[in-house]
Protein backbone atom coordinates (compact mmCIF):
# COMPACT_ATOMS: atom_id res chain seq x y z
CA UNK A 1 0.00 0.00 0.00
CA UNK A 2 2.86 2.37 0.80
CA UNK A 3 4.52 1.57 -2.53
CA UNK A 4 1.30 2.30 -4.41
CA UNK A 5 0.82 5.62 -2.60
CA UNK A 6 4.42 6.64 -3.27
CA UNK A 7 4.24 5.75 -6.95
CA UNK A 8 1.04 7.76 -7.28
CA UNK A 9 2.53 10.74 -5.46
CA UNK A 10 5.47 10.99 -7.86
CA UNK A 11 3.53 9.83 -10.95
CA UNK A 12 5.63 6.73 -11.64
CA UNK A 13 4.38 3.43 -13.02
CA UNK A 14 5.35 0.51 -10.76
CA UNK A 15 4.32 -3.13 -10.59
CA UNK A 16 5.46 -4.67 -13.86
CA UNK A 17 3.81 -7.92 -14.89
CA UNK A 18 1.71 -8.15 -11.72
CA UNK A 19 -0.46 -5.25 -12.88
CA UNK A 20 -1.26 -6.67 -16.32
CA UNK A 21 -4.62 -7.91 -15.03
CA UNK A 22 -7.13 -5.10 -15.36
CA UNK A 23 -10.70 -5.10 -14.17
CA UNK A 24 -12.97 -3.65 -16.82
CA UNK A 25 -16.75 -3.24 -16.79
CA UNK A 26 -18.64 -5.66 -18.98
CA UNK A 27 -22.11 -5.28 -20.50
CA UNK A 28 -23.97 -6.47 -17.37
CA UNK A 29 -22.54 -3.66 -15.24
CA UNK A 30 -20.22 -5.89 -13.23
CA UNK A 31 -16.45 -6.03 -13.51
CA UNK A 32 -14.58 -8.77 -15.29
CA UNK A 33 -10.83 -9.43 -15.20
CA UNK A 34 -9.10 -8.98 -18.53
CA UNK A 35 -5.98 -11.17 -18.42
CA UNK A 36 -4.46 -10.50 -21.84
CA UNK A 37 -1.27 -8.61 -22.46
CA UNK A 38 -3.17 -5.53 -23.56
CA UNK A 39 -5.78 -3.84 -21.36
CA UNK A 40 -9.28 -3.33 -22.81
CA UNK A 41 -9.85 -0.29 -25.00
CA UNK A 42 -9.98 2.95 -23.04
CA UNK A 43 -8.50 1.47 -19.84
CA UNK A 44 -4.97 2.29 -18.72
CA UNK A 45 -3.60 -0.40 -16.39
CA UNK A 46 -1.04 1.65 -14.51
CA UNK A 47 -0.92 5.38 -15.23
CA UNK A 48 2.30 7.32 -14.91
CA UNK A 49 5.75 7.44 -16.42
CA UNK A 50 8.34 4.69 -16.43
CA UNK A 51 10.66 4.88 -13.38
CA UNK A 52 14.00 6.60 -13.98
CA UNK A 53 17.00 7.47 -11.83
CA UNK A 54 15.80 11.08 -11.66
CA UNK A 55 12.69 9.99 -9.75
CA UNK A 56 14.86 9.13 -6.74
CA UNK A 57 15.25 12.85 -6.05
CA UNK A 58 11.46 13.13 -5.83
CA UNK A 59 11.31 10.15 -3.46
CA UNK A 60 13.99 11.69 -1.23
CA UNK A 61 12.02 14.95 -1.12
CA UNK A 62 8.85 13.04 -0.26
CA UNK A 63 10.61 11.24 2.60
CA UNK A 64 12.03 14.48 3.97
CA UNK A 65 8.63 16.16 3.87
CA UNK A 66 7.09 13.27 5.79
CA UNK A 67 9.91 13.37 8.38
CA UNK A 68 9.35 17.11 8.89
CA UNK A 69 5.60 16.54 9.20
CA UNK A 70 6.08 13.90 11.91
CA UNK A 71 8.58 16.11 13.78
CA UNK A 72 6.14 19.03 13.76
CA UNK A 73 3.38 16.74 15.00
CA UNK A 74 5.63 15.43 17.77
CA UNK A 75 6.58 18.99 18.77
CA UNK A 76 2.92 20.04 18.89
CA UNK A 77 1.98 17.02 21.01
CA UNK A 78 4.89 17.73 23.37
CA UNK A 79 3.86 21.38 23.64
CA UNK A 80 0.25 20.41 24.32
CA UNK A 81 1.34 18.04 27.07
CA UNK A 82 3.53 20.67 28.71
CA UNK A 83 0.80 23.34 28.60
CA UNK A 84 -2.11 21.04 29.42
Highest mean pLDDT: which of 11-15, 24-28, 34-38, 70-74? 70-74
Q: Are residues 77 and 39 in the same domain?
A: no
Distance CA 25, CA 2 (A): 27
The residue among 12 and 22 whose pLDDT is bigger is 12
Distance CA 4, CA 48 (A): 12
pTM reported for the whole predicted model: 0.55
Q: Are residues 9 and 43 in the same domain?
A: yes
Q: Are residues 43 and 84 in the same domain?
A: no
Does residue 30 surpass a pLDDT of 70?
Answer: no
Residue 11: pLDDT band (50, 70, 90) is: confident
Q: Are residues 47 and 23 in the same domain?
A: yes
Domain hosting 69: range is 53-84
Output the pLDDT for position 2: 82
Q: Are residues 10 and 39 in the same domain?
A: yes
Quote the number of domains for the chain: 2
Output the pLDDT for position 28: 67
Q: Encode 70-81: b = buried (16+ Cβ within 10 Å), e = exposed.
A: eeeeeeeeeeee
Q: What angle do CA 59, 62, 68 make, to 5 degrees?
A: 145
Q: Are residues 77 and 43 in the same domain?
A: no
Amino acid sequence: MVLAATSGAINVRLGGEALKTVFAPNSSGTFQAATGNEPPAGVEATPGREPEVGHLRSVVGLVWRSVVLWMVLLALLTLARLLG
